[in-house]
Amino acid sequence: MNQSAFSSIFHSYRTTFESFLDSQTLSLLSKYSAPELFEAMKYSLVAGGKRLRPVLALASSGGIQKGSQNVLILGSSLECIHTYSLIHDDLPSMDNDDFRRGLPTLHKKFSESTAILAGDALNSFAFYLLSLVESENGDFLLHRNLLEILHIGSGAPGMVSGQIYDLQMERANSEDQNSPTTEEKIELLRLTHSLKTGALIKASLLLGNRLRQDWKERQDSLSKYGEDLGLLFQITDDILDVEGTQESLGKTPGKDQKSGKTTYPALFGLDRCKSMVKDLQKNLISISSDFVSTSEEKEFFEELPVYIGQRKN
């Protein structure tokens, strides 16, 4: 396996998406938004990040050579959803973070009310973008499927319920009586992050895949890959919160431990978590053999778990 080849593929996908975001998506946002609202949304959208979810959509659709404007629209929709979730997650009523990607969080840069409205607008805009996807060959179910996938990944069936379960864990940890058992904590932790983190990652793969002619044959194995990739991402994120620095993370490390939040390291310990990362990487490489059909896909989906598990931010 070759991380340099993977890095080249990932970079090409990311660069293609960034160009579309700058030239197409932001101009649409500007056209339909009040100036102050646009500046707030733009501030968070262009603040950096790995663009993992748009890249996953590109990869699962067959790559740049097969990708059309449709998959870049889907990538923009996913990035709008992801950005809105970060904006709201940083609010004082949620995680109360002052920094994100090395910059002041949106509610610190603008105001709390502006941050709420910017998140609301990005969420709505993400679903509007799906209406711009062009259907080919009389695929009348395409838009219905895309809406369903994004809703399941980002709405009440997915990410939003994950956030609620996260708040439930915090409340349970702060109460002296009726404290959940370790087994109950583990079960709730897995449920929380399968929805909070994993659901949108899985949706990213399924959205790109839906643009393919052979999407039905691939969706089950891609779903499983997305679920395990979301778990790998979350465990790595929890490890970084313990071992990372503000310089590398771009946000305040150690907040989970200080707040008594239930995390994978808190329940399993760092050594066990690192072992879980290795096991997930091996499993993901095995799952990828069920759906890859080109050398580029093989390179990307086999090396992606290594990249996720070794990331520093």
Percent of the chain at pLDDT > 90 equals 79
> How much is the pLDDT for 248?
60
Q: Which domain holds residue 240?
A: 3-310
Q: How far apart are CA 156 and CA 113, in angstroms?
A: 23
Q: Does pLDDT of 256 surpass 70?
A: no
Residue range 70-80: mean pLDDT, rounded:
97
Q: Does pLDDT of 308 surpass 80?
A: yes
Alpha helix (H) residue ranges in the chain: 3-20, 26-32, 35-45, 52-61, 69-89, 106-109, 112-130, 142-154, 159-174, 182-196, 198-210, 215-243, 246-249, 255-258, 264-268, 270-288, 295-310
Tally of CB atoms within 10 A around 285: 18
Each residue's pLDDT tens digit, 122-140 = 999 999 999 999 987 778 8
Interacting residues of 145 by C-beta distance below 8 A, sequence separation 6+: 210
How many domains is the chain built from? 1
In degrees, rounded to 5, the angle at the alpha carbon of residue 132 between the alpha carbons of residues 150 and 63 is 70
Tally of CB atoms within 10 A around 24: 15
Q: Does pLDDT of 56 surpass 90?
A: yes
The letter for the amino acid at 286 is: S
Q: How far apart are CA 217 and CA 259, in angstroms?
A: 44
Residue range 105-118: mean pLDDT, rounded:
97
The letter for the amino acid at 249 is: L
- How far CA 154 is from CA of 169, 174, 207, in Å, comes to 20, 28, 12
- In 3D space, the residue among 144, 154, 237 whose CA is nearest the CA of residue 203 turns out to be 154
Q: Does pLDDT of 202 surpass 90?
A: yes
Tally of CB atoms within 10 A around 235: 24
> How much is the pLDDT for 139?
81
- In 3D space, the residue among 113, 203, 116 whose CA is nearest the CA of residue 158 turns out to be 203
Residue range 213-234: mean pLDDT, rounded:
97
Residue range 253-261: mean pLDDT, rounded:
67
Q: How far apart are CA 309 and CA 313, in angstroms?
A: 11
The letter for the amino acid at 152 is: I
Q: Domain holding 142: CATH number?
A: 1.10.600.10
Question: Contact at 8 Å (CB) between 126 and 159?
Answer: no
In degrees, rounded to 5, the angle at the alpha carbon of residue 295 between the alpha carbons of residues 292 and 297 is 45
* Residue with the two structure tokens 């889907």: 74
Dihedral (CA of 23, 69, 121, 190) sign:
negative
* Residue with the two structure tokens 């809105």: 84
Q: How far apart are CA 247 and CA 243, in angstroms?
A: 12
Each residue's pLDDT tens digit, 76-109 = 999 999 999 999 999 999 989 999 988 999 999 9
Among 41-45, 174-178, 230-234, the least confident range = 174-178
SS3 call for 99: strand
Q: Does pLDDT of 177 surpass 80?
A: no
Q: State the pTM of this model.
A: 0.94
